[in-house]
Chain A
Amino acid sequence: MPVYKDEDIDTTEELVRIAKLCALAAKRAPKVADTEIKTSIIAGDDLKPVLELLEILGEGSAFIRGDAAVMRKLMESGRPPVVLLVGVDASESVGWNCGACGFATCGEFNKFCRENKSLGYFAMGPSCAWRIVDHGLALSYAAATCAMHNVENRVQTSVGASAFLLGFVENCTFAVAITIGPAGAKYYYDRTLTRDIYTEEEILDMLMRNFPTSFDDFAGSGWPRIKHIPTWMGDPKFSLITKVPEVEEKIKEVRQKATQYVIEYFSKKYQQE
């Protein structure tokens, strides 16, 4: 009888086995419009480009930066997660003329789709709402299967976007990922691995920008002072609606960098083939 130690329980092989069960659940989920769901499981070295692109996207988003940091640390620790990608082709209309997409008929949607089908930030559009409903539904079914196995996991649009942009599911317009494993907890919720990637100053700054009213003084003047230090009255700061070119530039730069990465990834891939 072999002995299975801690390091044997969350092997890629084992996580892939669970990912496959989740994929089966996604395909089997009861659907509103009988939409076909496409899945793909990414593990081992194939996760590297997904992580690299995620890190680029993270440069423009504190949210994604955390997702990338966790995956980077897990990969470096030698206990990488496995990614289940759940995709859908939402550009095919159902034929119900419901109006959810913003067009009066499916015919008009199809016409718009033929002329405008293109890639946005991390998904292709336009989309039929019912395909999107079915996709979300299948995704939850897969996540529920993962939860039933009590394996650490998180539904991640960011990881899904990165893998989708790199073509890990074919003939899809949208994909979301479920990151599965490794053994242990607090990788994706109550994250312990992201502790050192945000400074306290950065967090406070973010809070003031997003919840300015929580830091406002008596606002009667019409120009409320922001309470940024205990002696704010003597050293007031104000919030101002303004253009911030460097932030705007950064967003553009990250998107260009991401596009560049995707182009290089595909050209390398085709050269190898």
Chain B
Amino acid sequence: MYINEWPPYSPADINKKENVLLAAKLMANAALTTPLMGGVDQIEVVLVWGEEDQERIARKMEELAKVNKSRRWQEMFKTEAVMVRESDAILLIGNYRAADTPLDVGCGLCSGKDNCDFVYSRRKTVAGVIDHTELETDMLINGPLCMCRVSDMGEAIGSALAVANRLLVDARPFMSVGLAALKLGYFKRSQIAVGVCVAARQKNPFVDVLPYYHLFCLDRVVDNLRKIYAILRQVYWYDYRKGLEKKLMEEDEEEGGEE
């Protein structure tokens, strides 16, 4: 089996991607076996890979970049969209209890009170039970959420990352990826999620990026090179059999190469 990361999506790159997929699957297991408050099931995982799906998520992120006027937000979403395209697999980790089935211990995290009124009073309920079919929102995330559940989601992500760390694949968690996946409907139930990009490249694609990365990522630079190259080869038109410069032709004559 020949493995090489270049060119992208060549058989050699796909061989590598399949390896990363194995790592991502093990990360999914770790997300599920993570220590959760009371051991209550609440984590769902979606494993996304392949050019088509990654492109769909990346484009959604570029769309979400525009919902906020802040430059920081826009740069973040556009840069992270590139990272999605450069990933080998994406692990989407969501919590399906945060919005409709809180932990119910009155811990204080959501509002600072020793009860769960803050969340319950902002949702539609039937006799105190939150109606999970009435969770529409115009917001990016459907709040308010049970912060204990959110905390558990964080732990699930940490477990997945710890496995990636041990398997020596690069992984980084992104709010933007989770948001795009939520809006695209990748999750059956979750109202909050984080996307963990996973990649095995000779340079970690998630760190050390250039400013305006969406314009100067390798993909765009190569694309521009291809564009320029086609033009440049036509600037100095010449017959390659006749040689480029007089001097070279003279050298050849001295050596008696060309009779």
Which of chain B's residues have a CB closer than 8 A to the CB of A29?
158, 161
Which of chain A's residues have a CB closer than 8 A to the CB of B139?
98-99, 104
* Residue from A98, A137, A174, A255 in contact with B157 in the complex, judged by beta carbons closer than 8 Å: A137
Q: B155 to A100, Cβ gap below 8 A?
A: no
A67 within 8 A of B: no
Which of chain B's residues have a CB closer than 8 A to the CB of A31?
173
Interface string of A140-178 (1 = CB under 8 A from B): 110111001000001101000000000000000110100
A117 within 8 A of B: yes
Which of chain A's residues have a CB closer than 8 A to the CB of B144?
100-102
Q: A140 to B109, Cβ gap below 8 A?
A: no
Among A90, A103, A137, chain B packs the most CB atoms within 10 A around the CB of A137
A33 within 8 A of B: yes
Interface string of A30-53 (1 = CB under 8 A from B): 111100000000000000000000
B68 CB, nearest partner CB in chain A, Å: 6
Tell me the complex Cα distance, A176–B158, Å.
14
B57 within 8 A of A: no
A interface residue count range (under 10 / 10 to 19 / 20 to 34 / 35 or more): 35 or more
Query: What DSSP secondary structure best describes chain B's contact surface?
Result: mixed
Interface string of B96-133 (1 = CB under 8 A from A): 00000000011111111111001100100000000000
- The stretch among A71-79, A127-135, A231-239 that forms the contact with chain B is A127-135
**In B140-166, which residues have CB < 8 Å from any A CB?**
140-145, 147, 150-159, 161-163, 165-166
Nearest B residue (CB) for A29: B158
B234 within 8 A of A: no
With A96-B68, A133-B194, A155-B155 known as contacts, the answer to whether A140 contacts B141 (CB < 8 A) is no
Which of chain A's residues have a CB closer than 8 A to the CB of B34?
140
Tell me the complex Cα distance, A148–B162, Å.
10
Which of chain A's residues have a CB closer than 8 A to the CB of B165?
141, 144
B70 within 8 A of A: yes
Nearest A residue (CB) for B36: A155
18 contacts between A and B (CB under 8 A): A29-B158, A33-B175, A90-B147, A102-B144, A104-B139, A119-B114, A120-B107, A121-B107, A122-B107, A125-B147, A129-B150, A133-B151, A133-B194, A136-B151, A137-B157, A137-B161, A143-B158, A148-B166
- Which residues of A line the B interface, CB within 8 A? 29-33, 63, 90, 95-104, 116-127, 129-130, 132-141, 143-145, 148, 154-155, 157, 173-174, 176, 255
What 4 pairs between A and B have smallest CB-CB spacing? A120-B108, A136-B154, A140-B158, A102-B144
